[in-house]
Structure 1
């Protein structure tokens, strides 16, 4: 029952480089039906993550052009990440605490997988954990003024 992330994570992870455009990131998301893409540098080290929400709130809503570099809208500070050895309960707790729906799995600085709430929900033994995590993530935050 103490399963590691390496056993449930998606290991075929699409990535983008910091210098690519937000339009390219959005196209990858659209083509692959995903909502987040890890951002890597030229060495393959994870430097951030860009989500569909980042594109909407940090670029489209601000009137940024589709050719804006990903580095200008990605989340780069306090990137929450797991490790392949982390157990599912730890990951779910971290996701709930940080209010995130997707957790990059990193080993030696490189992205090796991704775990989403959906990954937790399809595992029968973690379905209740996923439900509680979603409840915690969905707790409303105060609107920004």
Structure 2
């Protein structure tokens, strides 16, 4: 897990979030509300597909417009097998880790690959690759 994940604020512009992604060298950021609770995730793909391709201005479009539905998360005490199941079931590569009601960090596919035996990683990659 990557602890202390930096968030994109709900009221930040998509442009500000994309600059933060570039500075941090990441392709996704958790979206946090004023209460520091997770509201969703914003990815580089979201920015391209839901903002740029739709002709929206990333400087005036707010991150909260991309926080749709309830984000898929994992608990801080959940084991590695639960991480694998959740990623595979939801076909996601980044999984916010929640401790109580607060964001504790992010588990990425790369984190899993470094920590798990090769056969489990292969199973996960196969599950994520089939659509």
How far the C-alpha of 1:73 sits from its partner, in A, is: 2.1
When the two chains are superposed, the root-mean-square deviation of aligned CA atoms in Å is 1.2
CA distance in 2, matches of 1:89, 1:10: 18
* Structure 1 portions without partners, runs of 5+: 1-8, 141-145
| TM-score for the superposition, normalised by structure 2 | 0.93
CA distance in 1, matches of 2:120, 2:21: 27
Alignment partner of 1:37 is 2:13:
no
2:99 alignment partner in structure 1: 107
1:88 alignment partner in structure 2: 80
* Structure 2 portions without partners, runs of 5+: none
From the two aligned structures, give the one with the greater strand fraction.
Answer: 2
1:60-139 matched pairs, under 5 angstroms: 60-67=52-59, 68-74=61-67, 76-123=68-115, 125-139=116-130
1:3 alignment partner in structure 2: none
Alignment partner of 1:25 is 2:45:
no
| TM-score for the superposition, normalised by structure 1 | 0.85
Aligned residues: 130
How far the C-alpha of 1:127 sits from its partner, in A, is: 3.1
Stretches of 4+ moved more than 2 A in 1?
Answer: 125-128
CA distance in 2, matches of 1:88, 1:53: 27
How far the C-alpha of 1:43 sits from its partner, in A, is: 1.2
1:8-19 matched pairs, under 5 angstroms: 9-19=1-11
Q: C-alpha offsets along residues 21-76 of structure 1, whole Å, 9 cap, x if unaligned?
A: 111111111111111111111111111111111111110110110111001123x3
